[in-house]
Amino acid sequence: MASGPMTNTRLLDSHIAIPQHVMHRAFPTETVLLNLNTGLYHGLNPTAGRMFEVLEETGNLKLAARQLATEFDLAQNVVESDLNMLTVGLVERGLLEVVSG
């Protein structure tokens, strides 16, 4: 993971990846993430679960936000803000990695 403070601009231009030590599975009412390093499970509601799925597919917050804004019929800047907050939280828990800027 890259070091330094995570700003929205930095995240928008970074490659986001799911570390090898994270397992995940989507269910109808939540997505469950397991950090194999800590043994902790984390649950995401359906919206956050979809965000996680699109981040996995695109590997980029800006591209993910564009796709999700269309899907959810929301302004891209609103989705970017929500996706940024989710991403920061998942990075802090070791469930996502910021690979490069």
- Of 45, 30, 42, nearest to 91 by C-alpha is 42
Which H or E run includes 89? helix 76-92
How many CA atoms does the CB half-sphere of 33 hold within 13 Å? 26
Answer yes or no: is pLDDT of 32 > 80: yes
Mean pLDDT value of segment 46-69: 96
Give residue limits of the domains in the chain: 8-100
b/e map 4-14, b = 16+ CB within 10 Å: eebebeebbeb
pTM of the model: 0.87
Q: What's the CATH class of domain 8-100?
A: alpha beta
pLDDT at 14: 85
pLDDT at 9: 59
Mean pLDDT value of segment 19-28: 96
Answer yes or no: is pLDDT of 27 > 50: yes
Per-residue pLDDT tens for 58-98?
999 999 999 999 999 999 999 999 999 999 999 999 999 99
Residue with tokens 């403070």: 5
pLDDT at 63: 95
Per-residue pLDDT tens for 3-20?
444 555 577 778 999 999
